Amino acid sequence: MPRSTLSRANRAYVWHATALGEPLYRRLGFGGEYELARAKVTVPFGRFGSVPEGVLPMKAADLAAVFARDRQVFGADRSALLTSFYRRAPDLAWTLYRRETLIGYCFGRPGYLYRQLGPVVADDTAAAREVVAGCLASQAGETIAVDIPRLAPEWTAWLESAGFTIERSFVRMYRGQRQRPGFDAHQFVIAGPEFG
């Protein structure tokens, strides 16, 4: 069953459908919200060079600021989920500061076949590129997957120029009262379809 994302009184369901499943879910009353894509790369040695200025490995002391920003952007508190990602893959957790202001961050997690990067949250595409490039500079030889909202063509173009290959597309769908309290334009990589 799709996962409920609202209270029982105003229940809404969110589902991520493949191209084959989308017509079925539309017949069941789901509407399309936006397209996502799964992309993967085996990070080439030396491809990302040095870590961009201001991009730093995330520290425990950063978490309060990250969680506060994440609540604004995502629209809900997922600090427990992000804490688990930080503990499981601290080398995939990075921040980007400008003049002591947090403008971007990323997390990741181990997977069965490869590592998964996400979420990536940033003020703009340039900041997202810097965070991801900084993270991947430390991941040479690793295979990394991302699930990206197809909202910013320049972001997809940059990932492809960095060696990512788009493997498949799917659609975020909803049924019931549509409620998007966060800011989708700042979410460059989602945590994964299974995490909302």
Average pLDDT, the chain: 82
Q: Is the pLDDT of residue 129 over 70?
A: yes
What's the number of domains the chain is made of?
1
> Domain range for residue 65?
37-166+189-195
- Any domain includes 111: yes
Instruction: Estimate the crossing angle of helix 125-136 against helix 153-161, to 10 degrees.
Output: 20
Q: Which residue has better confidence, 142 or 46?
A: 142
Q: Is the pLDDT of residue 16 over 50?
A: yes
Q: Which residue has better confidence, 33 or 88?
A: 88
Q: Is residue 183 very low, low, confident or very high in pLDDT (cuts 50, 70, 90)? A: low
Of 56, 113, 51, 129, the residue nearest 90 (C-alpha)? 56
- Any domain includes 146: yes
Q: Is the pLDDT of residue 127 over 90?
A: yes
d(CA 189, CA 122): 10
- Beta-bridge partners for 149: 36
- Beta-bridge partners for 12: 176
d(CA 79, CA 65): 11
Going by DSSP bridges, is the β-strand pair 115-122/143-149 parallel, antiparallel, or unpaired? parallel
Query: In this structure, how many other beta carbons lie within 10 angstroms of the beta carbon of residue 36?
Result: 20
- What CATH number does residue 151 fall under? 3.40.630.30
Question: What does the pLDDT average to over 125-134?
Answer: 96
Best-predicted range by mean pLDDT among 78-87, 150-159, 177-186? 78-87
Tell me the CA distances in angstroms from 70 to 7, 23, 134, 192, one per residue in order: 21, 33, 20, 15
- Any domain includes 144: yes
- Any domain includes 142: yes
- Any domain includes 7: no
Q: Which residue has better confidence, 181 or 35?
A: 35
- Any domain includes 97: yes
Give pLDDT, residue 139. Answer: 94
- Any domain includes 23: no
Best-predicted range by mean pLDDT among 16-20, 21-25, 60-64, 151-155? 60-64
Question: What does the pLDDT average to over 133-160?
Answer: 91
d(CA 179, CA 13): 10
Q: Is residue 12 very low, low, confident or very high in pLDDT (cuts 50, 70, 90)? A: low
- Any domain includes 181: no
Q: Which residue has better confidence, 111 or 85?
A: 85
- Beta-bridge partners for 166: 39
Give pLDDT, residue 192. Answer: 81
Of 36, 40, 57, the residue nearest 114 (C-alpha)? 40
* pLDDT tens by residue, 43-81: 988 888 788 889 999 999 999 999 999 999 988 899 999
